Structure 1
Amino acid sequence: MPQYPGMNLYKGKICHSSAWDESFDATGKAIATIGDARLAEGGKARRPLRSESDVDWGRLHTRSKGTSGWPYIYISEEAKEAFKDEETYLCYRKKIEDGFYRTFEGILADSTTSSNLPNKFTKLMKDRLDKVGRADLLPKLTPNFPPHCRRLTPGPGYLESLPKDNVTLIQTPIERFYVDGIVTTDGVQRPVDAVICSTGANTDCILRYLSWQATDVSSESKFGFPYSYLGTGVPGFPNMSFILGPNPAGPTGTLVNSAETQIAYIAKMLRKISLQGIRTMTPSKEAADDFVESVLDPDVTV
């Protein structure tokens, strides 16, 4: 939750988007959303107080007819039938993975792909704003940093919601809360019935099952961050394995490769357990301590 003066005085509804109150009815209410968010239809006024961010086009895949919700890649029944042929399925998989791997250059600062990305994102946003007659919003939404420096804003419906009559885009910083709403630094009082904080997560707030020990209630690990063994297990749960856990992969490459590698590793460990009667899949706390200490040692090259 963000911290602003006077939040304790505010009499309206305050909640974080990650802990949504299902009982809350937004119909007809004036609502302020702090951060990147788009409230479902029904709010009387939605005022996103946000900074600039690139809007992602990569999530605008083809939807299956008659479906709603998050978009996904639609695979026809004919394609599924064709996948029974191993060579056809292999070619499809390679095509999908090729698309993932070819995005790698986009995170390299001086690459051709990275240099071209700002113009591509700006054009995408301009085209979508043009369709709703609000190209004038583009300068307010275009960031002054390259794409991928921050996580991209999910695209579906976001830009299209901004020009609506019941939405006001406000980028003036918040000064404080008062009993009936929010006061921005320009002195304007903005009465609202509810405030939705879409302000991300504080990585210092480590869940208990990501801490060093299952009995640790301090919400902090010994090293101040959640960590795991190869991204597949955490201390305190020696026989629980998963993929893409805390710190699951390197800073580059794709999650597809990481996930498949971890699945193969877990499968080998399960087979080892079955054949040799091993009781635990992850190392002891002492062994894990030694490993992390060596990683943090500036004189040690891992």
Structure 2
Amino acid sequence: MAVPETVQPDHEVAIIGAGIGGIGAAIALREAGFDDLAVYERAGDIGGTWRDNTYPGVGVDIPAQAYQFSYELKPDWSRVFAKGHEVKAYVDQVADHHDVRRLVRLNSEVTARTWDEDAGLWRLTIGGRDVTARYVISAIGAFVDAKPTAIPGVDDFAGPILRSASWDHAVSLAGKRVAIVGTGASAVQIIPEIADQVAHLDVYQRTPIWVAPKPDIPTPKAVEALFRRLPGTQELVRRTVTRGTEAVLIDLVTRHDRYAWLERGIRGALRHLWYPLQVRDRELRRQLTPDYDFGCKRPAVSNRYLRTFARDHVDLVTDPIDRVTATGVRTADGCERPVDVLILATGFRLATDPENFRRTPVRGRDGFDLATFYAEQRASSYESISIPGLPNHFMIFGPYGWTGGTWHQLVETASAHIVRVLRESRRRGGATVEVRPDAAARWTRFATERLGRSLWSQGACSAANSYYFDSHGDTPFLRPTTAAEAWHAARTFPLEDYAFAEAPVAAATVTEPVAG
């Protein structure tokens, strides 16, 4: 009689991306007893954002005490807002301490993911070869790729072009006429840092950004010593700072019906106290002050950005760009300003942008295509982790996914959800598992209805030009719950919201003689 032989993939779990999300997921899986896993990274090193972004002034824009895993506290952050190189060193330290680096396959971009229904596994295209995995975890991050520049004539520019996410440190800015396009979070850090070097700086602003004070001081040695001797004190600080960050960045937006007074207070303090203190010239201050509510667009923190525009050799340009020429930038009023070096800080494609998955397609069950899904339907998910049509597939950051005050908190929460599903799958003998459509629809309805009371729905955001709004007019970036609620949900969601099925068997079988 025939004895079925289970299909054996190359790996039980494949994780895509070796940034904070991929490393955190690998740690959680190994602690749960999942050892047959691989982490595929498209670049030549781990670190994600902190590997790619090395531009002048790069650093965290939330306190470093919040920007770390709960199980890997760093007592010696050099200052309140750590610089990029220090964060990258922390990521390396975490990976080494938890022996994750040996699981990482560098220079291994996953250019396609295809679900094999017959075998019950994923086929990943990596460097032209086929790698199989029973389960896939996407840890590609919230900001996947830099947006292609839509400004006409960029390719005609004769000088060097620098980009925030791929800075060429061989290009000197000393004594040059420099133009930077964009005034988002990266530009807020770059502009004051390079202003001392350049002969002239033109900053092209489409939409102003709310900039708050940055209480950035070195960490006192006494505090560092306290954290080393009494780690519990640092954990208390981490929890307090994380909750405070969440209150300002998350609660203020998602619970606008409750915290509208806080938004008005912050906006008023910035408009009437901080901005006048930083910018004396009334017309310049008017141009730099947003006319949308605080939180419609991600705010920034800096003690130097606004003051930089008062310098004689720095000009704020608010006229729309007509085109880039070989030697400069021409605005709609016909004025062309000469430029030696052009800097583009024009943003990224978010995780729900269908263009990400046209370049690296994800094709699931019954013809499901992730690019088509994001392009033609409103973004939806189950707890931001799973999407119907993608069996054995999970996301660290999916639609309505950002929770808490820091990325690490999100990664720990998402990993807990995924581990719980995989444990149940293993308990059932290595099952195929897919979230039920009704469960995903129910949870997405909960998220969108709760966001109906958010700042984005009730506030004045029309002028913000915010990446929080997708092409459908929805805001699937933040999860409209507290981090504590998300943490609880990751441990208590009904496993019945997933459909489990027995693992398929190989077409080939081992035969035994049958008595005739």
Structure 2 length-normalised TM: 0.44
Contact kept, 8 Å, 1:117 with 1:147, in 2: the verdict is: yes
Contact kept, 8 Å, 1:176 with 1:182, in 2: the verdict is: yes
Aligned to 1:148: 295
Aligned to 2:210: 54
Q: Distance in 2 between matches of 1:90 and 1:12?
A: 49
What secondary structure sits across from 2:284 in the alignment?
helix
What secondary structure sits across from 1:12 in the alignment?
coil
Distance change (3 Å), C-alpha of 1:25 and 1:125: same
Q: Distance in 2 between matches of 1:114 and 1:47?
A: 31
Structure 1 residue 34, shift from structure 2 partner: 0.9
Structure 1 residue 162, shift from structure 2 partner: 2.3
Distance change (3 Å), C-alpha of 1:221 and 1:157: farther
Q: Distance in 2 between matches of 1:114 and 1:233?
A: 33
AA aligned to 1:106 is L
Contact kept, 8 Å, 1:273 with 1:279, in 2: the verdict is: yes
Structure 1 residue 161, shift from structure 2 partner: 2.6
Q: Distance in 2 between matches of 1:14 and 1:105?
A: 38
Aligned to 2:44: none
What secondary structure sits across from 1:18 in the alignment?
coil
AA aligned to 1:76 is E
- Structure 2, unmatched stretches of 5+, are 1-147, 450-516
AA aligned to 1:249 is G
Q: Distance in 2 between matches of 1:28 and 1:268?
A: 57
Deviations 1:255-300 (A, max 9, x none): 56654432332343454466555266x63xxx67787688899xxx
Tell me which of 322, 332, 345 is aligned to 1:185.
Answer: 332
Contact kept, 8 Å, 1:30 with 1:193, in 2: the verdict is: yes
Aligned to 2:484: none
Q: Distance in 2 between matches of 1:3 and 1:246?
A: 26
Q: Does 1:223 align with 2:374?
A: yes
Q: How does 1:8-157 map to 2 (within 5 A)?
A: 8-36=155-183, 37=187, 38-39=190-191, 40-41=193-194, 42-50=197-205, 51-57=207-213, 60-64=215-219, 76-84=224-232, 91-92=236-237, 94-103=239-248, 106-107=252-253, 108=256, 111-122=260-271, 123-129=273-279, 137-157=284-304
Structure 1 residue 11, shift from structure 2 partner: 2.0
Contact kept, 8 Å, 2:354 with 2:374, in 1: the verdict is: no
Structure 1 residue 129, shift from structure 2 partner: 3.5
What secondary structure sits across from 2:201 in the alignment?
strand
What secondary structure sits across from 1:46 in the alignment?
strand
Contact kept, 8 Å, 2:382 with 2:439, in 1: the verdict is: no
Contact kept, 8 Å, 1:105 with 1:114, in 2: the verdict is: no
Distance change (3 Å), C-alpha of 1:205 and 1:61: farther
Contact kept, 8 Å, 2:242 with 2:405, in 1: the verdict is: no
AA aligned to 2:430 is I
Q: Distance in 2 between matches of 1:89 and 1:18?
A: 32
Aligned to 1:69: none
Q: Distance in 2 between matches of 1:129 and 1:140?
A: 11
Q: Distance in 2 between matches of 1:255 and 1:179?
A: 43
Looking at secondary structure, tell me which structure has more strand per residue. 2
Structure 1 residue 168, shift from structure 2 partner: 1.6
Contact kept, 8 Å, 1:32 with 1:192, in 2: the verdict is: yes
AA aligned to 1:261 is T
- Structure 1, unmatched stretches of 5+, are 67-73
Q: Distance in 2 between matches of 1:62 and 1:237?
A: 48
Q: Distance in 1 between matches of 2:150 and 2:210?
A: 25
Deviations 1:53-97 (A, max 9, x none): 21133x54433379xxxxxxx95221342234xxx5665455335
AA aligned to 2:158 is K
Distance change (3 Å), C-alpha of 1:7 and 1:89: closer
Structure 1 length-normalised TM: 0.70
Contact kept, 8 Å, 2:319 with 2:333, in 1: the verdict is: yes
AA aligned to 1:116 is G
Aligned to 2:134: none
Structure 1 residue 35, shift from structure 2 partner: 0.9
Tell me which of 372, 385, 401 is aligned to 1:249.
Answer: 401
Q: Distance in 1 between matches of 2:380 and 2:168?
A: 30
Q: Distance in 1 between matches of 2:391 and 2:295?
A: 34
Distance change (3 Å), C-alpha of 1:97 and 1:179: closer
Distance change (3 Å), C-alpha of 1:296 and 1:211: farther
Distance change (3 Å), C-alpha of 1:101 and 1:270: same
Contact kept, 8 Å, 1:129 with 1:138, in 2: the verdict is: yes
Contact kept, 8 Å, 2:266 with 2:294, in 1: the verdict is: yes
Structure 1 residue 173, shift from structure 2 partner: 1.8
Distance change (3 Å), C-alpha of 1:209 and 1:183: closer
AA aligned to 1:45 is H
Cα RMSD after superposing both structures: 4.1
Distance change (3 Å), C-alpha of 1:265 and 1:209: farther
Q: Distance in 1 between matches of 2:267 and 2:162?
A: 34
Distance change (3 Å), C-alpha of 1:238 and 1:166: farther
Percentage identity across paired residues of the two chains: 20
